[in-house]
Amino acid sequence: MAPNLLRFRNRLRKQIVLMADSLTSLLAMFKRKDQDLGSQMICPFCGLITPRRKMCCLECGKSLKLA
């Protein structure tokens, strides 16, 4: 390949990677905002703040069944 074509190809690859990285971080930011809403609950037994996706308390180990 001609040197100019190689340089163009490399620059194009870098631009595509930069766009993909920025799009990925943007999508991750929106995903995090959706997950943060109501993402924690307080254990009724020990009072520890526990992630809502956990089935049992991280401190006392008791079940956190949702009503």
Query: Which tens digit of pLDDT belongs to each residue from 1-53?
Result: 688 999 999 999 999 999 999 998 888 777 765 555 567 888 888 988 888 88
| pLDDT attached to residue 16 | 94
Q: Which helix (H) or strand (E) segment is 16 a member of? A: helix 3-36
State phi, psi for 59 to the nearest 5 degrees: -95, -55
Burial of 34 (0-12, 13-18, 19+ CB in 10 A): exposed
The structure's pTM equals 0.43
d(CA 36, CA 15): 32
| pLDDT attached to residue 14 | 94
Assigned token pair, 30? 């929106």
Assigned token pair, 62? 């008791």
